[in-house]
Protein backbone atom coordinates (compact mmCIF):
# COMPACT_ATOMS: atom_id res chain seq x y z
CA UNK A 1 0.00 0.00 0.00
CA UNK A 2 1.44 3.35 -0.95
CA UNK A 3 1.50 6.39 1.29
CA UNK A 4 -1.16 9.05 0.69
CA UNK A 5 -0.12 12.70 0.63
CA UNK A 6 -2.34 15.77 0.51
CA UNK A 7 -0.72 18.81 -1.15
CA UNK A 8 -2.33 22.15 -0.25
CA UNK A 9 -1.09 25.06 -2.35
CA UNK A 10 -2.77 27.89 -4.27
CA UNK A 11 -0.07 27.87 -6.98
CA UNK A 12 -1.38 25.49 -9.67
CA UNK A 13 2.02 25.08 -11.36
CA UNK A 14 3.81 24.31 -8.10
CA UNK A 15 1.10 21.83 -7.08
CA UNK A 16 1.38 20.06 -10.44
CA UNK A 17 5.19 19.91 -10.20
CA UNK A 18 4.98 18.51 -6.65
CA UNK A 19 2.32 15.99 -7.68
CA UNK A 20 4.47 14.69 -10.54
CA UNK A 21 7.56 14.49 -8.32
CA UNK A 22 5.71 12.60 -5.58
CA UNK A 23 3.85 10.24 -7.92
CA UNK A 24 7.15 9.39 -9.61
CA UNK A 25 8.36 8.33 -6.13
CA UNK A 26 5.30 6.08 -5.70
CA UNK A 27 3.11 8.23 -3.45
CA UNK A 28 -0.66 8.62 -3.91
CA UNK A 29 -1.21 12.37 -4.21
CA UNK A 30 -4.33 14.42 -3.56
CA UNK A 31 -4.62 18.17 -4.04
CA UNK A 32 -6.34 21.18 -2.54
CA UNK A 33 -5.96 24.82 -3.62
CA UNK A 34 -6.33 26.48 -0.20
CA UNK A 35 -6.44 25.66 3.50
CA UNK A 36 -10.23 25.51 3.74
CA UNK A 37 -10.44 22.97 0.91
CA UNK A 38 -7.40 21.17 2.31
CA UNK A 39 -8.88 20.71 5.78
CA UNK A 40 -12.15 19.42 4.30
CA UNK A 41 -10.24 17.05 1.99
CA UNK A 42 -8.14 15.77 4.87
CA UNK A 43 -11.24 14.99 6.93
CA UNK A 44 -12.40 12.71 4.09
CA UNK A 45 -9.07 11.26 2.94
CA UNK A 46 -7.09 10.98 6.21
CA UNK A 47 -3.79 10.99 4.31
CA UNK A 48 -0.59 10.06 6.14
CA UNK A 49 1.11 13.35 5.25
CA UNK A 50 -0.01 16.91 4.52
CA UNK A 51 2.25 19.30 2.63
CA UNK A 52 0.93 22.84 2.95
CA UNK A 53 1.91 26.20 1.59
CA UNK A 54 1.79 29.06 4.10
CA UNK A 55 0.53 32.08 2.13
CA UNK A 56 -2.86 31.16 0.61
CA UNK A 57 -6.37 32.58 0.24
CA UNK A 58 -9.33 31.40 2.34
CA UNK A 59 -7.46 29.70 5.20
CA UNK A 60 -3.69 30.27 5.21
CA UNK A 61 -1.10 27.63 6.08
CA UNK A 62 -0.43 28.45 9.74
CA UNK A 63 -4.16 28.29 10.51
CA UNK A 64 -4.39 25.07 8.47
CA UNK A 65 -1.61 23.52 10.59
CA UNK A 66 -3.31 24.64 13.82
CA UNK A 67 -6.68 23.20 12.81
CA UNK A 68 -5.24 19.90 11.57
CA UNK A 69 -3.11 19.49 14.71
CA UNK A 70 -6.13 20.14 16.93
CA UNK A 71 -8.39 17.68 15.13
CA UNK A 72 -5.78 15.12 14.08
CA UNK A 73 -2.80 15.33 16.47
CA UNK A 74 -0.88 12.49 14.77
CA UNK A 75 -0.91 13.81 11.19
CA UNK A 76 2.54 14.47 9.75
CA UNK A 77 2.84 17.95 8.27
CA UNK A 78 5.42 19.63 6.05
CA UNK A 79 5.22 23.38 5.41
CA UNK A 80 6.61 25.18 2.38
CA UNK A 81 6.64 28.87 1.53
CA UNK A 82 7.94 31.30 -1.01
CA UNK A 83 7.31 34.14 1.39
CA UNK A 84 4.95 36.78 0.10
CA UNK A 85 5.88 40.34 1.10
CA UNK A 86 8.37 39.12 3.68
CA UNK A 87 11.05 36.50 3.54
CA UNK A 88 9.59 33.03 4.20
CA UNK A 89 11.81 32.46 7.27
CA UNK A 90 9.38 33.92 9.81
CA UNK A 91 6.40 32.00 8.50
CA UNK A 92 8.32 28.75 8.39
CA UNK A 93 9.70 29.20 11.92
CA UNK A 94 6.12 29.70 13.13
CA UNK A 95 4.93 26.65 11.18
CA UNK A 96 7.68 24.56 12.79
CA UNK A 97 6.73 25.78 16.28
CA UNK A 98 3.10 24.91 15.61
CA UNK A 99 3.88 21.33 14.69
CA UNK A 100 5.19 21.00 11.14
CA UNK A 101 7.68 18.11 11.09
CA UNK A 102 9.75 19.91 8.50
CA UNK A 103 9.71 23.22 6.67
CA UNK A 104 11.25 24.29 3.37
CA UNK A 105 11.51 27.43 1.30
CA UNK A 106 10.35 27.61 -2.31
CA UNK A 107 11.78 26.91 -4.74
CA UNK A 108 12.37 23.54 -3.12
CA UNK A 109 15.50 21.49 -3.56
CA UNK A 110 13.97 18.25 -4.87
CA UNK A 111 16.66 15.94 -3.48
CA UNK A 112 16.55 17.54 -0.02
CA UNK A 113 12.73 17.59 -0.08
CA UNK A 114 12.48 13.89 -0.95
CA UNK A 115 15.09 13.04 1.67
CA UNK A 116 13.11 14.85 4.39
CA UNK A 117 9.90 13.26 3.17
CA UNK A 118 11.48 9.79 3.30
CA UNK A 119 12.57 10.44 6.90
CA UNK A 120 9.00 11.40 7.71
CA UNK A 121 7.52 8.27 6.15
CA UNK A 122 9.98 5.92 7.84
CA UNK A 123 9.15 7.14 11.36
Judged by average pLDDT, the poorest of 13-22, 30-39, 114-123 is 114-123
* 98 Cα distance to chain centroid: 13
- Give me the pLDDT at residue 40, please: 97
Using CA of residue 19, residue 25, residue 30, residue 36, what is the dihedral sign?
negative
Domains and CATH numbers, the chain: 4-121 (3.40.50.2300)
Is residue 64 within a helix (H) or strand (E), and if so which, with residue range?
A: helix 61-71
| 66 φ/ψ angles, rounded to the nearest 5 degrees | -60, -50
What is the share, in percent, of the chain residues with pLDDT greater than 70?
A: 93
Return the CA Rg of the chain.
Answer: 13
Q: List beta partners, residue 6.
A: 30, 50
Rounded to two decimals, the pTM is 0.94
Kindly list the strands in the beta sheet with 102-105, ordered across the sheet, starting from the edge strand earlier in the chain. Answer: 28-32, 4-8, 49-53, 76-81, 102-105
- List pLDDT tens digits, range 22-72: 999 999 999 999 999 999 999 999 999 999 999 998 999 999 999 999 999
- List pLDDT tens digits, range 78-109: 999 986 655 556 888 899 999 999 999 999 99
Average pLDDT score, the chain: 92
CA distance 31 to 42: 10
Amino acid sequence: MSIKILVIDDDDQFRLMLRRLLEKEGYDVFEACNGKEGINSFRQLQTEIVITDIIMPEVEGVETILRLRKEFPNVKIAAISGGGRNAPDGYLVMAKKLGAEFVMEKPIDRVEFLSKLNELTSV
